[in-house]
Amino acid sequence: MTEKLTVDEFERDLWVCAQCGYCKAVCEVAKEKRWESFAPRGRIYLLKAMRRGEIKLDAEQEKKFSDHVFKCTLCARCRTACPVGIDIRALQIELRESLVSAGQYPENLNLMADSMKQENNPLNYPNDERAAFVEYFDDPPDDLYQKETADVVYFVGCISSFSPAVQSVPEAFISVLEKAGVNFAIMGENEWCCGYPLIAAGMKDKAEALKAHNIERVKKLGARTVVTNCPSCYNTWAFEYDSDLEIVHSTQYIKRLIADKKIKLNPLTGSAAYHDPCDLGRNSNVYEEPREVIAATGLDLMEFPENREQGYCCGGGGDLEAIDADAAHQFSEVLAGIVQKAGVTEFITACQQCKRMMLSVFKEKEIKVPVRDIVELVRDAME
């Protein structure tokens, strides 16, 4: 997990860095871009040199430095590699906040921020259509799961709500919740973005209204538990929100339903490889529950050579897709190459964004490997 650094912690981490290069060795951005200034240690070195007064950047150089800082998925592979435990991801977010304050940040982020202000989601879709995907279910209820009271709120998230490529994920999870007899509700247009895209952009102050609204709407329903498929939503609710609500990822909740015998799974046959989403694994320390749920379905679990703390990023995090879609796609291609080399027969993840990114690159490269979210796996095993 990543917590906001104090000024003293930021300065300590900045000056403790010895430019050893362990972070550069695992940084996907540095591997693709090759310039030292794209590597975590390169950015830290430049910042220290600026603090010492050894270099002074002109306007064009400041713009380039900012561009390099924002070319990052915030996957935190660098943090796990650091031998002295510097929280490079937190430092990176603090650096973005400083650059935003100085007016040096990618212009595309203004489009996202404006969309948040106008539509309460980063995709600039009318937020009153957030639950429209439910209308395409075979037999949707009249209330479209938007009840007046509920024990559990299913926080669907922006990508799952608006991207047709992954709307099968909330459809599957709703099916699981229904069959388990859970008293749940979704919030429809009253669900606003969790605020993660703004926090990742260095615009944390702009996320405060979103956070306060979501907490208020959940409590208005009388719910005490918030469940989400989205690892970024989970991480934001769990570590950025100030509430007394129980925050659970869908894989954790499904494990609970299995343990409580609320759902029964018929064994599936075959094998699948599980991909650890960055914001669920490295950034929230949730590794075992997804694997335990996959095991409960009867599938043989394959592991990628780099898994858990060492898992590769799909390219879809840290606002990179909004800033540089080509760079995000490059990282998807790297992961696709790993999938091909490993001889994976099915790609399983626990993140709708990872699924969306991999569906796109698999289609482009004609990789015939099915991609499913764990909740879809569970839904299929129940049926």
Burial of 247 (0-12, 13-18, 19+ CB in 10 A): buried
The span from the CA of 235 to the CA of 248, in Å, is 10
| SS3 (DSSP) at 164 | helix
Task: Give the count of beta carbons closer than 10 Å to the beta carbon of residue 35.
Answer: 12
Domain-by-domain residue ranges, the chain?
7-101, 124-258, 264-382
Cβ-in-10-Å burial (0-12, 13-18, 19+) of 370 comes to middle
Residue 99 structure tokens: 């650059």
Adjacent-strand bridge partners of 270: none
The amino acid occupying position 301 is L
Helix (H, G, I), strand (E, B) or coil at 155: strand
Q: What average pLDDT values come out for the chain (383 residues) when binned by 10 residues?
A: 58 76 82 76 74 71 79 88 85 84 86 93 94 91 92 96 94 95 95 95 93 96 96 95 95 96 89 92 95 92 89 89 87 88 88 94 91 94 82
3-state secondary structure of 187: coil
Please indicate whether the domains covering 7-101 and 264-382 agree at the CATH topology level.
Answer: no
Q: How far apart are CA 192 and CA 154, in angstroms?
A: 13
**b/e map of 299-308 (b: 16 or more CB within 10 Å)?**
beebebeebb
- The predicted structure's pLDDT at residue 2: 53
Q: Indicate the residue type of 200.
A: A
User: Cβ distance 255 to 249 under 8 Å?
Assistant: no
- Could you give the CA distance from residue 364 to residue 359 in angstroms, rounded to a whole number? 9
- CATH fold of 264-382 reads Rossmann fold (3.40.50)
* 8 A C-beta contact, residue 183 and residue 151: yes
Query: What is residue 10's predicted lDDT score, i.e. its pLDDT?
Result: 66
CATH 1.10.1060.10 for domain 7-101, yes or no, is yes
Closest CA to 173 of 237, 233, 115: 233
Residues in the chain, total: 383
pTM score, whole prediction:
0.91
Crossing angle of helices 250-259 and 168-179, rounded to 10°: 20
What is the CATH code of the structural domain delimited by 124-258? 3.40.50
Answer for the pair 279, 73: CB distance below 8 angstroms, yes or no.
no
